[in-house]
Amino acid sequence: MENQQILMLIIYTTFFCFIPTSSTITPNQSLKYHETLVSSAGTFEAGFFDFENSRRQYFGIWYKDISPRIIVWVANRNVPAQNSTALLKLTHQGDIVILDGSGGRVWSSNSSKTAVKPVLQLLDSGNLVVKDGESSDNFLWESFDYPGDTFLAGMKLKSDFVTGPYQYLTSWRDNDDPAEGEFSYMIDTKGFPQQVTTHGTTILYSTGPWNGYLFSGVSWERMHRFLNFSFEFTNKGISYGYETLNSSVLTRTMLKLNLRGATERFLWSNQRQSWDIVNNHPTDQCEYFATCGVNSICNVNNLPICECLQGFTPKFQAKWDSHDWSGGCVRKTKLSCDNGDWFKEYTGIKLPETSSSWFDRSLSLQECETLCLRNCSCTAYANSDIRDGGSGCLLWFHDIVDMRTHNDQGQEIHTRLPFSERGNFISISILCLFVRFS
């Protein structure tokens, strides 16, 4: 028995001696099919792969030792090499190039910086990097700057306030085609930053604006038990990412954007040796963008699920009654736009879409209300950050859209109403009092 184990060990060791697996490549080395790079702790592996019944070759990164294999990044996702004679090389300038059988360039990393002693390395985070010198921490190029369909811990999604998102996820086109598909998962910074998943140029669903913990529509308390999320505001834009809280317990985690635009967050269970899906979107009908049209609230526990906000009535009553809510709701009475207007507080809410909102992260909720009252087109306000009792000011103008009751916690929003709505409320109260005491 013992001999057998020793023999196995020898076979195992020899096997690894002959397969060139290392975590780095220098300009004089290359990788061909069946040769791989392995990160130092053995978490990730990078190399050429293909799909059944196809001679198209891709260079990608996957979790080592997990089957079925999950590809987390593909270099030449739009431009496969046509057969297994493909080769990956690092040039003396520090560019990664993929060559086909005839030596033609299929793909190049196009690094803007040139190296003196470039080294290509696969890190244990799953980041494939080009460094200048073995011990340098300065990356000339890194795969984390070019996300595919998988959001790994340590990666950042980024958006510029002026030019918009420039690091975001894009779905695969098909199960055996990693080319850029039609769905994208990004941080929209047209107004206050929010997460949106788009299908082409339209929003499929949004998990809502950032609230200090996470996005307004997700179960942020639960997610914070596993992961440490970060959301950095700079003058130019935002950067969103996450880290695992305790890497000795949680070794592998990822968020995948699938072929139909849904997102699934996976955690690896060492105990069961399988993936757990801890969060996925969209989960219900209320999550699809603007299900109930404008100025309404979606609640999956109600029947029908759509209801107009207080002070509003369906724009097309007959359609609304037949569950076509796309027309949304309109005001029963115009805002007076003077001091008679007031705000109704809704709690337990996923905040509405923010692409035409305004924000100031230093104002208080009081100042926020004052600002909103002062502008006739302002229709709602809320704190932009709900941590530590709330801070910052977020204003909505004209119609508000994609508001729903939250599945667990939710937050507060104040919607603007004309004096007459308060009047109704007061007269109903008086009537009730009258009925009670008579």
Ligand X SMILES: *[C@@H]1O[C@H](CO)[C@@H](O)[C@H](O)[C@H]1NC(C)=O
Per CB under 6 A, residues contacting ligand X are: 26, 28, 82-83, 85, 100-102, 107-108, 110, 228, 230, 245-246, 248-249, 358, 375, 377, 397
Q: Which residue, 231 or 325, is less far from ligand X as judged by CB? A: 231
Smallest distance from ligand X to CB 260, Å: 26
Q: Which residue, 230 or 234, is less far from ligand X as judged by CB? A: 230
Smallest distance from ligand X to CB 199, Å: 24
Closest by CA to 176, choosing from 265, 65, 260, 71, is: 71
Q: Which residue, 397 or 419, is less far from ligand X as judged by CB? A: 397
Q: Which residue, 191 or 314, is less far from ligand X as judged by CB? A: 191
Closest by CA to 120, choosing from 21, 22, 26, 19, is: 26
Smallest distance from ligand X to CB 258, Å: 24
Q: Which residue, 101 or 304, is less far from ligand X as judged by CB? A: 101
Q: Which residue, 185 or 242, is less far from ligand X as judged by CB? A: 242
What residue is closest to ligand X based on CB? 101
Strand locations in 112-190 (E): 118-122, 128-132, 139-142, 150-152, 156-160, 164-167, 169-174, 177-188
Q: How many CA atoms does the CB half-sphere of 56 hold within 13 Å? A: 16
Q: Which residue, 74 or 349, is less far from ligand X as judged by CB? A: 74
Smallest distance from ligand X to CB 253, Å: 14
Smallest distance from ligand X to CB 202, Å: 24
Distances (CA, A) of 108 to 25, 39, 75, 98, 369: 16, 22, 9, 6, 53
User: d(Cα 253, Cα 227) in Å, to the nearest integer?
Assistant: 9
Count of beta carbons in the 10 Å neighbourhood of residue 79:
14
Q: CB-based burial of residue 29 (10 Å sphere; 0-12 exposed, 13-18 middle, 19+ buried)?
A: middle
Smallest distance from ligand X to CB 245, Å: 5
First to last CA, the chain: 94
Smallest distance from ligand X to CB 99, Å: 9
Closest by CA to 391, choosing from 212, 237, 214, is: 212
